[in-house]
Amino acid sequence: MARSNEAEFTAFVQRQSRFVFRVAYAVLRHAHDAEDVVQEVFLKLYRNGAWEKLQNEQAFLARTAWRVAVDRLPNLSSMSEADTEVPSSNPTPEENVVASDWHNKVHRLIDGLPEELRQPLALSSIQELNSGEIATILGIPEGTVRTRIMRARQLLREKLAAMEEKGYAKRL
């Protein structure tokens, strides 16, 4: 019986670990910390046996991963700017520098959004979750999720337009 449970749990982890990682990464934006969250989530589930009674695995895992990741946020204040760089796949070094600079600016803009706007946007855009799933994870109404995503995108558009306008003025 114990081997059967271990095999079922192993299959459960293999089936859902990538999803839990993506949720944690959306919050933390740091791969190593997201991996730690994945381990912590599955260790907690294994110890208390809750994984055997789940009705909606992804909803439960998303909410659990989200909470564990959010609990780790204050501990990340020492994360350096270099840890958040997004590597570019462009072939030339010049293009890499330009792309990296652009990605850093966009990430700073996203990071500058209020938490209540940034979280739904990250879950929607990065994790490709729908507004119902995001509402379940965050514990807010679905209409509020859609409004916050719309407002976050609007703010980002405005900030990007202002950045482009400034950049264009500097080039002239």
2-76 and 84-171 share one CATH topology? Answer: no
- % pLDDT > 90, the chain: 16
- 137 to 119, 127, 133, 160: CA distances (angstroms): 10, 12, 6, 29
Distance CA 82, CA 80 (A): 5
CATH topology of domain 2-76: Rna Polymerase Sigma Factor; Chain: A (1.10.1740)
Query: Class assignment of domain 84-171?
Result: mainly alpha
DSSP-H helix ranges across the chain? 2-28, 31-48, 57-72, 93-112, 115-125, 131-138, 142-171
Which pLDDT does position 142 carry in this prediction? 93
Neighbours of 102 (CB within 10 A): 14
How confident is residue 140, by pLDDT bands cut at 50, 70 and 90? very high
Higher-confidence residue of 172 and 139: namely 139
pTM: 0.49
Distance CA 25, CA 38 (A): 10
Question: pLDDT digits over 32-84, tens only?
Answer: 898 999 999 989 888 888 777 777 788 888 888 888 988 888 644 455 444 55
Calculate the CA 153 to chain-centre distance: 16
109 CB contacts (<8 Å, ≥6 apart)?
156, 159, 160, 163
Domain ranges of the chain: 2-76, 84-171
Question: Which range among 27-31, 85-89, 91-95 shows the weakest confidence by mean pLDDT?
Answer: 85-89
**Which residues, at least 6 apart from 167, have a Cβ–Cβ distance to it below 8 Å?**
none
Separation CA 7–CA 42 (nearest Å):
14
Question: What is the pLDDT confidence band of residue 90, given thresholds at 50, 70 and 90?
Answer: very low
